[in-house]
Amino acid sequence: MTRLWAAVLMTSLALGGHAKAADVALRTTIPANALFFLPLFVATDLGYFHDAGIDMETVITQGDGPDIDALISGSVDFTISTPNRLFTTYQQGKPLLGVMQVMDRMGIQCFMNKAVAARVGLLPSTPLLDRLTKLKGLTIAGTRPGAFTYLLAIDYLKRAHLQPQDDAKVIGIGTAPGMIAAVENGQADVGCFGSPVIETAVSRGKSVAFINNTQGEDSKFKDFLFEMVYVRPEYAQAHGDLVRKTLAVLVRANRWMAAASDAEVAKIASTHFTGMDEAILQESIASVRPAFPKDPAITETGYAAAEAFLRDTDALTGTVPFAKVVDNSYLPH
């Protein structure tokens, strides 16, 4: 396992060039290159980690699952990811600790093949439940089985009283470019991913938006723990000062984003989404902004909503006590 993750880390993306000899070298994983991780990008590119004496390397693992595995193995110090493993690792006797909320709305968006949308009668004005019932007989793509993109499709089918894999198929398709191609060429009818993928897909003219969750189109996901910072409990105990410094840097980045214009945020994001049309990137940023909370503390309400979502999609059984896996005390006061 150690050698495996050493190999993975060799392919990591170092997001900043601000390191100096005195900086403490730290690593964090993220599951994909998506706008969910804007605070991390901002903090790195504006030198906030450097200001705190940290040289932060970011490893993109191309899917949630490997990102947490790297944390558990000790190959990285932090992970910013969806909360599913916060619950399941506790039940497996290997608890992790959630120390900061990064997004408090479901960030995954879905898009549909334009011709399929015309065939099933999907319109921008179609009510939410009616949209979900239109998934009958279709194929929906997430990134990989068990990932939040995949579980969201399962949730949508169940809410429409459709049986996953019988009334509609859910498949894992991998990366964002592969998902867009799959929807355009008919391998899948619907794709679910994070911004700016949905905006890019729609801009190409062969897809239409299905549901936008960061804009609150689905009320179930408006107060919802979606992206969070993980650490190992023993790491937080031994290196509490580094955990506090790291979270303070991310909070500083959040505050900068709240005051900045879409164009200013897009300037930072453009270095991580090279070649993307500026107008599409700004549109994507405007779409995702409401999902970044003013208060970085993990709330019991958002936690309970995420836990219920995981139970509803058969990714979790039972409950996990909030106080056993969440500690907001490392956040700046």
- Max CA separation in the chain (angstroms): 61
Distance from C-alpha of 32 to C-alpha of 194, rounded to nearest angstrom:
9
The residues, any chain, with a CB within 8 Å of residue 117's CB and separated by 6 or more, are 208, 210
Least Cα distance to 104 among 211, 247, 227 occurs for 227
Regions of the chain where pLDDT drops below 70: 1-21
Domain ranges (residues) in the chain: 2-105+223-330, 108-212
Whether the CB-CB separation of 39 and 254 falls below 8 Å is answered with: yes
CATH topology of domain 108-212: D-Maltodextrin-Binding Protein; domain 2 (3.40.190)
2-105+223-330 shares its CATH topology with 108-212: yes
Question: Could you report the per-residue pLDDT of 112-169, keeping only the tens digit for each?
Answer: 999 999 999 999 999 999 999 999 999 999 988 988 999 999 999 999 999 999 999 9
Q: What CA–CA distance (Å, rounded) separates 130 from 109?
A: 17
Architecture of domain 2-105+223-330: 3-Layer(aba) Sandwich (3.40)
